[in-house]
Amino acid sequence: MWLYCHFPQLLLDNRVRLQPDSNTLPLALYQLQGNQSVIVQCNTLAREAGVKPSIQTVMAISLCEQLQLVEYIPEREQQVLQQLATRLYLWAAKLVLYPPKGLAIELSSLTQLYGGMDAVFNTLSREVHALPIKAQLAVADNPLAAQLLAEYDCPVSLNPKESAQLLAQLPISAAGFKTKTQKHCKAAGFRQLGELIQLSGDEVGRQLGLETQLYLEQIQGRQRQSYDFFTPPERFRQSLDLVTEVPHWQGLLFPLKRLFGELEDFLYQRQKVTQQVSIELHHRYEPPSVVPVALAEPGWRGQSFLSLLQLKMEAIPLPEAVIEITLVANELLQSEQHNCHFFGVQQHRHETLQLIGRLQAKLGNNAVFSPAMNDDPRPGNNEFRRPAGEKPQVLSAAPKRPLWLLQPPQPTSIDLWQLRHGPERKVCGWWDAGDIARDYWIARDKFQRVGWLYFESGQWYLHGWFS
């Protein structure tokens, strides 16, 4: 048995879900069909004003002057369908997408898990209706039949005989035939699908053609079908069309909060975490502004990303008003596999890493780092920056070196110093043309400060301070 969910105005409902404000005005989606612009989806306020799907846009505007019009983009509706499928994937494994408005779920394999067909249907129905998106459900023994029933908004029946009866009662116009076939049926006097089903296959083939015969066999589940089952995407990408153009960051906060909420749900459901997301702000004329936001430690809470983004906002001027926002998270990690940081299970580790994330967001990644070294024997050359919070490389030898290093070393006069320890000779670096020949000394100045000096090519240099 298959459950088919038909979402008649998926794109519009999803828009209203993410931006509840847009529902306070009459709103309709239009599509160019041939050389005509036609309304395809509209909200309740628009319906009350007389607007309905399939009327021309010009007519719709004359019916309702305040009508907000947005172009319908099938690909975007398909993306929303994918998001819905990802959500339902928690409850059912075998999903087949029928883009852009429907999906079918195989039920028989779930009966044992949920304890009967009724329980399966109730669980899935509850989950489908959990979002404020209009859905028409139907159950039949094959996805195509269920699709026809759902699209016609027939009552749901889990009994195969009853659903077959409902199918037989469908008018020819709702049976999914091509317009030409519908005309033939009408001319031949067929009004309901059941009348065609009663005929033998050969008879249908003779009267309406082989294609119709095969289609009828499919509806009745007499043909074996292969299905392309849905697999959840490996990355997160969601876009949000803004109702009005927003020229400043403050106005973007609310929609961004929604998007980060969606990301949080996505990560939580899949028990994944991510360290970096990027926000693409689309403008009408300028190329999109891309703002990356990275946490010091992978996380899944939307609020963590949002608070970092708020810190960054001040430094990033918007070149132009924003018309659309896209949130992208490409690298998802298992929530357990990201631990190469300090303090394995320390109480305040999380707070410290959050602090580092905040500092990096406001000051830039280069401004916050931890000192690190490699095994280059040349003093100064072996020092580099590593990302703050990352564990350093373990080195065995710890020769006496100053805490402060002057980069580059400063020329000095030996008259200012009293040599105390040394020399430590460093002659190396021939392998990359950065060769040095230095004698290092530890010396005191007149303030009793201890400096680290070296002598090279007839000149003394101060390279660091011990105190």
Partner 1 sequence: MQTKLQTLIQQGLVWHGQVTDSQAATLSSGFSSLDTALGGGWQYPGLHEWQLQTPFSEQALLLPLIQHAVQQKLSVFWVNPPAWLSAAGLHHYGLNESMQVVIQTNPEKAAWAFEQILQTKNALALGWFAQKETTSQSVRRWYKAAQTGQMGVVLSEPALNEEARAYSNRVRLKLGEAGVTLDILKRKVGWPLEHVALN
- Binding status of residue 372 toward partner 1 by CB under 8 A: yes
Distance of alpha carbon 86 from alpha carbon 332, whole angstroms: 15
For the bound state, the minimum distance from the C-beta of residue 264 to partner 1, rounded and expressed in Å, comes to 24
Q: What are the DSSP E strand ranges found in 34-164?
A: 36-42, 68-71, 95-98, 102-106, 136-140
Q: How far is the CB of 44 from partner 1 (least distance, A)?
A: 47
Which candidate, 60, 95, 67, places its Cα nearest to that of 81?
95
303 binds partner 1 (CB under 8 A): no
By the rule CB under 8 A, 299 interacts with partner 1: no
Strand ranges in 114-270 using DSSP code E only, listed in sequence order:
136-140, 236-246
465 binds partner 1 per the rule CB under 8 A: yes
Binder among 58, 316, 395, 419 for partner 1 (CB under 8 A): 395
Other beta carbons less than 10 A from residue 403's beta carbon = 8
CA distance 260 to 252: 12
Considering only 89, 91, 268, 369, the residue that binds partner 1 (CB under 8 A) is 369
Q: Which of 405, 416, 428, 436 binds partner 1 (CB under 8 A)?
A: 405
According to DSSP, the β-strands at 332-334 and 272-283 are: antiparallel
Query: CB 397 → partner 1: shortest distance, Å?
Result: 9
By CB under 8 A, tell whether 401 contacts partner 1. yes
Contact call for residue 343 and partner 1 (CB under 8 A): yes
Contact 323, 376 (CB under 8 A): no
309: nearest Cα among 293, 326, 325, 288: 293
Report the candidate in 125, 130, 75, 81 with the shortest Cα–Cα distance to residue 103: 81
Name the residue nearer to partner 1 (CB basis): 37 or 352: 352
CA contacts within 13 A on the Cβ side of 405? 14
Cα 441 off chain centre by: 58
> Rule CB under 8 A: is residue 295 a binding residue for partner 1?
no
Binding flag, residue 447, partner 1 (CB under 8 A): yes
Q: How far apart are CA 180 and CA 177, in angstroms?
A: 8
| Site track for partner 1 across 15-54, x = CB under 8 A | ----------------------------------------
Strand-strand pairing, 459-465 and 450-456: antiparallel
Minimum distance of partner 1 from residue 292's CB (angstroms): 19
Interacting stretch for partner 1, rule CB under 8 A, among 67-75, 83-91, 132-140, 367-375? 367-375
Nearer to partner 1, 112 or 347 (CB): 347
Q: How far is the CB of 391 from partner 1 (least distance, A)?
A: 9
Handedness of CA 455, 459, 463, 467 (dihedral sign): positive
Count Cβ atoms within 10 A of the Cβ of residue 61 and give its class: 0-12 exposed, 13-18 middle, 19 or more buried.
middle
Residue 366 beta carbon to partner 1: minimum distance, rounded to whole angstroms: 8
Report the distance separating Cα 467 and Cα 464, nearest Å: 9
Query: Candidates 40-48, 103-111, 431-439, 446-454 — which segment interacts with partner 1 by CB under 8 A?
Result: 446-454
- Span interacting with partner 1, options 96-104, 246-254, 322-330, 394-402, rule CB under 8 A: 394-402
* Binds partner 1 by CB under 8 A, chosen from 62, 109, 165, 407: 407
Residues that bind partner 1 (CB under 8 A): 342-343, 346-348, 351-352, 354-356, 358-359, 362-363, 367-373, 379, 382-383, 388-389, 392, 395, 398-407, 447-449, 464-467
